[in-house]
Structure 1
Amino acid sequence: VATAEPVLAGLPLTAPARLSGEPVARAALWHIRKGLYAAVAGARPSGTTALLEDVAVPVEALAGTCAALADLFARHRYADSVIFGHAKDGNLHFMLNERFDGGEAPARYADFTEEMVDLVLGHGGTLKAEHGTGRVMAPYVRRQFGDELYDVMREVKSLCDPDGVLNPGVLVSDDPEIHLRHLKTVPTVEEEVDRCVECGYCEPVCPSRDLTTTPRQRIVLRREIAAAEAAGDRTLARELTDAYDYDAVQTCAVDGMCATACPVLINTGDLVKRLRAEEHGRATRAGWRGAARRWDATTRGMARGLDL
């Protein structure tokens, strides 16, 4: 701490640096750090997909890699991107938002990925640090590890999965453009749905998580219904909508517990309340508004009715 404080004092920081051993202060800072991805992704433009990558380079190359990544963001017009990670390990997470209309990747996404791979491998880094190698980095595994090691991977894969049915296209793939296929589109639906990054933080606090669906699943299903309607698949849209009424609308507790855990403060209960209101006509809604204004008399009347 004594060595670090003079160094920190000389840096052009936006706020004074403070090293703290207090659990409450540390917890507050970690809350910001752990919620950074969801907070930034939650503010993304509607209809865009949030993409999170994690790479690692030797620690001495970390600052230069950050600067070069920022330059790549600027040149490829990814203005809302953010970099964070674990500096002592040379580990970087970065996020960018992209619009995959019709499941097609724009040229800038392909060009950015190629340059990013060249940058990381040029510093002697790895294209995946903590998270598993998925489709986005699958075409570059051979480039990182070389032909001999890659052939060993292929042999192990073929021994364990001779028919290629286990997670095809992930980690090991013969398709040099696998990272540009099967891209996730995010249709515009409504405010709560559009902000959601599907992180799942809301699920442990949901009362109905073991009964029907969680807040995350309710939002994902809204997206699937919108996608089916946009694709003209009325049969699928109708099936999903019919199942949604009980699995999502009628069995939601609308208690707002999801908002207490959500990094972007989505209250799925508010969404469900609107969906419930839409199921009833104007006269029904007017009647219940009148009951709400005279709730004491309403509950007494209900009690008498139950007695009878």
Structure 2
Amino acid sequence: VHAADTDALTLASAAAQSHFDALPLAVPPRLTTDAAERAALWHVRKGLYTAVAGARPSGTTALLEDIVVPVPRLLATCERLIELFAEHGYEGSVIFGHAKDGNVHFLLNERFDDPDSVARYRRFTDDLVELVLSQQGSLKAEHGTGRIMAPFVRRQYGDELTDLMWELKRLIDPDGILNPGVVLSDDPDSYLHDLKRVPTVESEVDRCVECGYCEPTCPSKSITLTPRQRIVLRRDMAWAEEQGDTELLRDLRADYDYDGVQTCAVDGMCGVACPVDINTGDLVRRLRAEQSNAVEGAVWGTAAKHWSMVTRAGGVALTVADALPAPLVRGVTQLGRAVLGADTVPLYDGGLPRG
């Protein structure tokens, strides 16, 4: 509720409350002017998409659409939208958004690895476009046209305005290399190309919606990968394997060991920020355990329990190495690295101090 002064705010709040009281709600609602309460409520509101999308069936893509209609037509639009969900078999779909602006966000889940599901999505989108335009609305509101509605821009704006948009596009981008198919598209089926697939990978991360809330809290985000990128690459590897793209799969696996596994701090900070409670560190710990050598793990486990003895032995080794010709010691460590692995045996350098 917005108002220019306190009296108007009080009247508007009372009017809103009277509407609330007439609704069959689970909890009696109330309005607040407390900043802390408002911040907490907005935190819940901003997490709605990820919370709902995170509960989707594994292997499905969460699609969030953004339409707007004149406020007096909002009720009819939402009622018809609910009917479309039922007609096309989209169970568990959710409508939210900004009602006071006639702006609706709705979420549905779809599989894009199945031709029948893609055909269903085509039919639903055709019906959605018809609904919004029949209510004198816009196919995109606050989030821009993007890819899905690009083929329908001409239908909404007509030939004159759309031709003008294309003319501006060609002036700025004569070779058509800047985001082709985004905002404007001359292919009526472009919204069905390159659809995002979310293959089932592992239980730790399948509910991830790639929102990116985890990224600011990740210690390695500026070194290699963020938690979101670690999950996306796991999905890319699963998809490459499913499609039989062995070359891509080999390249991804080769880089992922360092970028995705070895450089994760496994501190769980990503889980603190994640709206669907994913701790990517749990995934990385499991991947490390699967890769680890049982004998080497036993040796390091024993070393960890006798660390003071290990450090004293290391000090003695450095003192002995310092007394010997550096090329000799370096050659021995190079041989050890060739046999046992570069991550197991450190490379000696003459610049190292005594123990």
TM-score by length of 1: 0.93
Larger Rg: 2
Alpha-carbon offset, residue 170 of structure 1: 1.4
Alpha-carbon offset, residue 102 of structure 1: 6.1
1:17 and 2:29 matched: yes
Q: Deviations over 1:210-237 (max 9, x none)?
A: 1111001111111111111111121211
Residue in structure 2 matched with residue 45 of structure 1 by the alignment: 57
Contact 1:104 1:181 in 2 (8 A): no
Residue in structure 2 matched with residue 118 of structure 1 by the alignment: 130
Contact 1:139 1:176 in 2 (8 A): yes
Q: 5 Å matches for 1:191-270?
A: 191-270=203-282
1:305 and 2:317 matched: no
Amino acid at match of 1:300: S
Range 191-200 or range 257-266, more displaced: 191-200
Go from structure 1 to structure 2 and tell me whether the alpha carbon gap of 1:105 and 1:151 turns closer, same or farther (over 3 Å shift): farther
Q: Deviations over 1:95-140 (max 9, x none)?
A: 1110011688522111110111111111110000011212210111
Alpha-carbon offset, residue 287 of structure 1: 5.4
Candidates 92, 98, 108, aligned match of 2:104: 92
Contact 1:105 1:180 in 2 (8 A): no
Residue in structure 2 matched with residue 28 of structure 1 by the alignment: 40
Alpha-carbon offset, residue 72 of structure 1: 0.7
1:133 and 2:141 matched: no
Go from structure 1 to structure 2 and tell me whether the alpha carbon gap of 1:238 and 1:281 turns closer, same or farther (over 3 Å shift): same
Go from structure 1 to structure 2 and tell me whether the alpha carbon gap of 1:289 and 1:64 turns closer, same or farther (over 3 Å shift): farther
Unaligned runs of 5+ in 1: none
1:187 and 2:195 matched: no
Alpha-carbon offset, residue 23 of structure 1: 2.4
Contact 2:50 2:211 in 1 (8 A): yes
Q: Deviations over 1:75-110 (max 9, x none)?
A: 111101111101111101011110011688522111
Residue in structure 1 matched with residue 81 of structure 2 by the alignment: 69
Q: Give the Cα–Cα distance (whole angstroms) in 2 for the partners of residues 23 and 139 of structure 1.
A: 43
**What is the percent sequence identity of the aligned residues?**
63
Q: Give the Cα–Cα distance (whole angstroms) in 2 for the partners of residues 160 and 120 of structure 1.
A: 30
Alpha-carbon offset, residue 181 of structure 1: 1.2
Range 6-15 or range 256-265, more displaced: 6-15
State the secondary structure of the residue aligned to 1:193.
coil
State the secondary structure of the residue aligned to 2:206.
helix
Range 164-173 or range 83-92, more displaced: 164-173
Q: Give the Cα–Cα distance (whole angstroms) in 2 for the partners of residues 68 and 287 of structure 1.
A: 66
Q: Give the Cα–Cα distance (whole angstroms) in 2 for the partners of residues 49 and 102 of structure 1.
A: 12
Q: Give the Cα–Cα distance (whole angstroms) in 2 for the partners of residues 185 and 103 of structure 1.
A: 12
Go from structure 1 to structure 2 and tell me whether the alpha carbon gap of 1:197 and 1:210 turns closer, same or farther (over 3 Å shift): same
TM-score by length of 2: 0.82
Alpha-carbon offset, residue 299 of structure 1: 3.1
Go from structure 1 to structure 2 and tell me whether the alpha carbon gap of 1:286 and 1:72 turns closer, same or farther (over 3 Å shift): farther
Q: Give the Cα–Cα distance (whole angstroms) in 2 for the partners of residues 287 and 97 of structure 1.
A: 48
Alpha-carbon offset, residue 289 of structure 1: 6.0
State the secondary structure of the residue aligned to 2:65.
strand
Q: Give the Cα–Cα distance (whole angstroms) in 2 for the partners of residues 217 and 102 of structure 1.
A: 25
State the secondary structure of the residue aligned to 1:174.
coil
Amino acid at match of 1:155: E
Alpha-carbon offset, residue 154 of structure 1: 1.0
Contact 1:103 1:181 in 2 (8 A): no
What is the total number of aligned residue pairs between the two structures? 304
Contact 2:118 2:192 in 1 (8 A): no
